[in-house]
Amino acid sequence: MKAYYDFHIHSALSPCADEDMTPNNIVNMARLKGLSMIAVTDHNSCGNLRAVMQVAADDPLVLPGIEIETAEEVHILGYFPSIRQAEAMEKRIKEHLPFIPNRPEIFGRQLYMDADDTVTGEEEGLLVTATTLGVPDVFSMVQDLGGVAVPAHIDRSSYSILSNLGFLPPELAIRTVEITAKNRARLEERYKNLTILTSSDAHYLGDIAEMERYMDISTKTIPEILEKLTNKNA
């Protein structure tokens, strides 16, 4: 079956995201747009993931994820088999994330929310900053937790593995990359041997993807999604 997806969405926990990016708003917008599968990938945190998963109740299916910033300022999307592995990764990230006080008036608020969209707290440390983890460290940690590490928006001029490193390190055996919609057609041939994801990187509700990209899967389950991310174009 065709399962339409958006595997790169930010909630109001990411300071660069709109405060309307609440668990219920994200889930309901995904439903309105006909998506079968989503991932909320906040910067260096999965603090709103449990609420999103509770609201969604598998409609749409929520793939646990985090967008991790490496020491090289490369963004890596980590996708995990369960919320437990995502939270374990978040714990490791926090051990390597320098504490820089957030300035909400500059960067935006970082809001923790429950399944009723009630604000339950505010993250004081700035999340949109580099960890002390190198790209190989992040790949190793994600994979050790049974997850898949995906270099984000590799075609962008900043915060991408190509812009900052200049190449895909062969020792990482990268199988999956994310390419933005505007450049996918131009770059598909170059990366035809890799699985290619194209998601929205939505920071506003209206930016969540339409029914444009899909996976051809037999069962809508997280294990099958993770398998697809390493074996076949999405």
Please name each of the domains of the chain with its CATH number: 2-231 (3.20.20.140)
Are residues 25 and 207 in contact, defined by beta-carbon separation less than 8 angstroms? no
Per-residue pLDDT, averaged over 202-229, amounts to 96
Is residue 153 over pLDDT 60? yes
50 φ, ψ to 5°?
A: -60, -40
Six token digits for residue 17: 């995201």
Q: Which amino acid is at 106?
A: I
234: nearest Cα among 83, 82, 39, 94: 39
pLDDT reported for residue 232: 52
58-91, pLDDT tens digit by residue? Answer: 999 999 999 999 999 999 999 999 999 999 999 9
Are residues 231 and 195 in contact, defined by beta-carbon separation less than 8 angstroms? yes
pLDDT reported for residue 231: 75
Going by their DSSP bridges, the two strands 176-178 and 195-197 should be labelled as parallel
As a whole-number percent, the residues of the chain with pLDDT over 90 amount to 98
Name the DSSP letter for residue 15: T
**pLDDT class of 131 with cuts at 50, 70, 90:** very high
Across the chain, mean pLDDT equals 96
Stated pTM of the model:
0.96
pLDDT reported for residue 230: 85
14-69, pLDDT tens digit by residue? Answer: 999 999 999 999 999 999 999 999 999 999 999 999 999 999 999 999 999 999 99
Is residue 233 over pLDDT 70? no
Q: Which amino acid is at 18?
A: D
Mark 130-165 as b/e (b = at least 16 C-beta within 10 Å): bbebebebbbebbeebebbbbbbbbbbeebbbbeee
Distance separating alpha carbons of residues 234 and 228, to the nearest angstrom: 7
Distance separating alpha carbons of residues 33 and 144, to the nearest angstrom: 34
74: nearest Cα among 174, 207, 211, 166: 166
Per-residue pLDDT, averaged over 180-209, amounts to 96
